Amino acid sequence: MDRTAAGVQRRRMGKTRFEVYPLCLGGNVFGREGRTDEAAAWEILDRFFEAGGNCIDTADIYADGASEEIIGKWMAARHNREDIVIATKVGFHGGLSPENIRQALEGSLRRLGVDSIDLYYAHTDDKSVPLVDVVRTFDALVQEGMVAVLGASNYSVERLDQALMLARSEGLHEFQVIQPHYNLVHRTEYEGLLADLAVREEIAVFPYYGLASGFLTGKYRKGATVESTRAGTAWKYLDSRGERILAALDRVAEEQHATVAQVALAWLAAMPGITAPIASARTLGQLEELLPMADLVLSQEEMALLSAASS
């Protein structure tokens, strides 16, 4: 494993050649009205890179492509393309037909200003397209050098297993990365059969919504007022279970001299199969709060406490 300038140990991305920082920066807020404009995004990207961060996650639908454009301009200006593991996605606009995949990839390559994508995800399962056609199309992109590694986001364990078997039966490139919805308050989707498959097959896992739309920052509590476009989603977690989770996070955060958000991400990063959680930051201050999670190590007792509180 490589170590960053800050001394944080990078993690192997499954069976691939890539090694990544323990936190993947989400680009979903870049370029979105009322979120993070280009200047603010560059500040965040500069600080993330300075800290040793090298994995950036985006998608063709984020701000209708503006997120990819911002990241692409930043990489070109900083001349650091070779130091970045860039991940983007296809599927929410137009589905996963072979024609749409290729058209969308061309758009992503152009907006990012790159010759190839390091990690290309099927953003969502498209059951209207035969799975074998999806697998063959993604394989062709790797064969042609336009994509290095294939990923699947929002796939059930059954469909992921089918895709793997199809690829192996035809000698094609497989999905080597998955991106599930997973955090302390949303566990059942990943834990169990999907986690077992990921660990068994050495599939890299990058969970999204690592902070549960901000709920796991600890700012959503009884009596609090929070102005955020995600507030409606976050408030729904504030039930008896959510309060129990926050109490456990508070306790561990105090013991670790850390923030609630850092502890929540550190718990996620330590779970079986996880390569790096994805978290976005609308401001430089938000990023600064997240970065210390990269070398935060929770004890077995702290992990057990958090897992029990969220069970």
Name the strand (E) or helix (H) holding 4: none
> Residue 94: which region, alpha, beta or left (left: phi > 0; alpha: psi -120 to 50)?
left
62 in active site: yes
Tokens 């996650």 correspond to 57
* One-letter amino acid for residue 204 of the chain: A
Distances (CA, A) of 188 to 79, 156, 171, 181, 277: 41, 12, 32, 9, 16
CA dihedral 209, 90, 294, 239 (to 10 degrees): 0
Q: How far apart are CA 154 and CA 206, in angstroms?
A: 11
- Reading the block at residue 75, the tokens are 């990489």
**Which of 159, 161, 140 shows the shortest CA–CA distance to 150?**
140
Q: How far apart are CA 130 and CA 157, in angstroms?
A: 17
Given the residues 21, 62, 155, 209, select the one marked as catalytic: 62
Q: How far apart are CA 145 and CA 34, in angstroms?
A: 37
End-to-end distance of the chain based on CA atoms, in angstroms? 33
Distances (CA, A) of 264 to 115, 260, 267: 36, 6, 5
Strand ranges (DSSP E) for 53-125?
Answer: 55-57, 85-90, 117-122
Beta carbons within 10 angstroms of residue 151's beta carbon:
27
* One-letter amino acid for residue 112 of the chain: L
CA angle 119, 195, 2 (to 5 degrees): 50
Q: How far is CA 128 from the centre of its chain?
A: 26
Catalytic residues: 62
